[in-house]
Structure 1
Amino acid sequence: MGTPSGCRNRPVGRGLEYRLVFAPFYNGKPLRLSVVLITQNAAAQLPDCLASVAFADEVVVIDSGSNDDTVALAERYGARVVAKEWLGFGRQKQFAVEQASNDWVLCLDADERVSPELAASLVRILESPAAAVYRMARRNRFLGRWLRHGEGYPDWSARLFDRRHARWSDDTVHEKLLYAVSPGTLEGELLHESAEDLGRYLEKQNRYSSLAAVELHRRGRQASVATLLLSPMVRFFKFYVMRLGFLDGFPGLVHISIGCMNSFMKYAKLVELRQAGRK
């Protein structure tokens, strides 16, 4: 069995398992696909992520100043590492896409990994793509449990695309893939480790709510008392009640509660920014 050229210097183990699963699709040739990631101090999550994309002929990691083993691990797995100062999530991801050698790109985060079922679907699709953008279901693991309802699943996300037909928005946070074509759908799931521990997850959500508030302020958005109150309430009802988040037990309750707090804090911080601007 031929091994894709981009995988030759990668460690075996899980990466080898993926190559064996997809041997019928390779036909001795690498899959013309670039996997791109943006990283900063992601050494704990990166190996599982990179092992899960051993079928791709190129992996590009855009690193913004990691001081752990992120860069060394990425290079060990055969990735091409490019150092780039932080531009915000949207612009950083678009920069990563522009560094790819192939037009077909799969964008991942370091705490995500491609399931074997998703990878098999992806490889089959790329033999003869019927669309220029493909969505996939993302399953979130939170407090040790894979969420199956609420906000946690299916968290549809467009990540596989022909870069000639799509690009990332310039948003600092909550970036979106912009495209004007009808997307296709992949089978299988993108697996996301939402939180190593609750403390770090809360710290991340606090940062995200601050970035979101700054972005809203930049756009001239306003927030009333009604917005502060209704936004988290609507979010809770939609995902915990209507989409059965309560079936995910304690992790599901904590997950949606933090999401609602995030909504409240985002608008509270926006009010603070607007008040500071009037002084």
Structure 2
Amino acid sequence: MLSVIIITRNEQEHIGRCLASVTWADEIIVLDSGSTDNTVAISKQYTSAVYQTDWPGFGPQKQRALQKASHDWVLSLDADEEISPALQQEMQQAMQLSGIQGFYIPRLSSYCGKQIKYGGWWPDPVLRLFRRETGQFSDDVVHERVIVNGIVKHLQQPILHEAFTDPSEVLDKINHYSTLGAEKLYKQHQHASLARAIGRGIWTFIRTYLLKAGFLDGAEGLMLAISNAEGSYYKYLKLRNIHKQSQHD
């Protein structure tokens, strides 16, 4: 028996495809945090278990959703992800195995319409399928993870992830995630200078495009390397500004 948990906020462009891909599950839980578009209405077309709450950060929010799950197994999905029929079949078989508490699933992400195979984006294993009683989410406000107490194995079929649909969405996510990342680093008592921000941006580009062969993904690989570099640069630049502002408060 499987519960699917999804957290949302203004995901009307993605949530319908996500929910349609898991209609075979025994329970679907959507936890929304103040959507102003049609996310909630679309979600209610697929499940009655749609809840609305505030936003405490990714980890705490997914833990809230987990606490609403009632079945033995839990699948955590993001609103821009989908489950293929092949992965559905593999998961249903995997959940019959005894002694296994969770499964990593590879994630195949698309960037502006192209599935990315290089630049560190593939196979991108994520722990998303786990026994409810043995798993919990970290309390990180960004880049949260599932912590499972027990044996964890790997599946072969990927989650399909529409990471970025167009350049505007790329810019929006760079701004959002760099802010969250800077706040996380500040809480970890890390510091940054302008030189460090520039250096981190350059290193991120080199790692993504050259060392991890992002150039093999063509134009989208270059675009991805640039956006990754921008995200890293702005994260450390914002960290620098947080420290400057704290000195004046």
Q: TM-score range by the shorter chain?
A: over 0.9
Give the CA deviation at 1:174: 1.5
Q: Distance in 2 between matches of 1:63 and 1:207?
A: 18
Deviations 1:217-239 (A, max 9, x none): 12211224553243233333333
Alpha-carbon contact 1:130-1:184 (below 8 Å) kept:
no
| Residue aligning to 2:247 | 278
Counterpart pick for 1:111 among 41, 59, 80: 80
Q: Secondary structure at the match of 1:72?
A: helix
Look up the equivalent residue of 2:89 and give its one-letter code: A
Unaligned runs of 5+ in 1: 1-31
Q: Distance in 1 between matches of 2:62 and 2:19?
A: 17
Q: Secondary structure at the match of 1:127?
A: coil
Look up the equivalent residue of 2:211 and give its one-letter code: M
* Matching of residue 52 in structure 1 with residue 24 in structure 2: no
Q: Distance in 1 between matches of 2:199 and 2:163?
A: 26
- RMSD, aligned CA: 1.6
Q: How does 1:253-264 map to 2 (within 5 A)?
A: 253-264=222-233
User: Alpha carbons of 1:114 and 1:129: their partners in 2 closer, same or farther (altered >3 Å)?
Assistant: farther
* Matching of residue 100 in structure 1 with residue 73 in structure 2: no
Q: Secondary structure at the match of 2:82?
A: strand
| Residue aligning to 1:265 | 234
* Matching of residue 200 in structure 1 with residue 169 in structure 2: yes
| Residue aligning to 1:168 | 137
Q: Secondary structure at the match of 2:189?
A: coil
Alpha-carbon contact 2:119-2:212 (below 8 Å) kept:
yes
After the TM superposition, which of the residue ranges 65-74 and 137-146 deviates more from structure 2? Answer: 65-74
Q: Distance in 2 between matches of 1:129 and 1:98?
A: 23
Q: Distance in 1 between matches of 2:10 and 2:92?
A: 30
Look up the equivalent residue of 2:25 and give its one-letter code: A
* Matching of residue 188 in structure 1 with residue 168 in structure 2: no
Identity %: 37
Unaligned runs of 5+ in 2: none
| Residue aligning to 2:94 | 125
| Residue aligning to 1:70 | 39
User: Alpha carbons of 1:122 and 1:277: their partners in 2 closer, same or farther (altered >3 Å)?
Assistant: same
User: Alpha carbons of 1:191 and 1:220: their partners in 2 closer, same or farther (altered >3 Å)?
Assistant: same
Look up the equivalent residue of 2:44 and give its one-letter code: E
Q: Distance in 2 between matches of 1:255 and 1:155?
A: 15
Alpha-carbon contact 1:39-1:64 (below 8 Å) kept:
yes
Q: Distance in 1 between matches of 2:194 and 2:47?
A: 51
Look up the equivalent residue of 1:76 and give its one-letter code: Q
Q: Give the number of aligned pairs.
A: 248
Calculate the TM-score normalised by the size of structure 2.
0.93
After the TM superposition, which of the residue ranges 236-245 and 96-105 deviates more from structure 2? Answer: 236-245
After the TM superposition, which of the residue ranges 227-236 and 32-41 deviates more from structure 2? Answer: 227-236
Q: Distance in 2 between matches of 1:129 and 1:189?
A: 22
Give the CA deviation at 1:205: 1.4
Give the CA deviation at 1:74: 1.4
Give the CA deviation at 1:256: 1.6
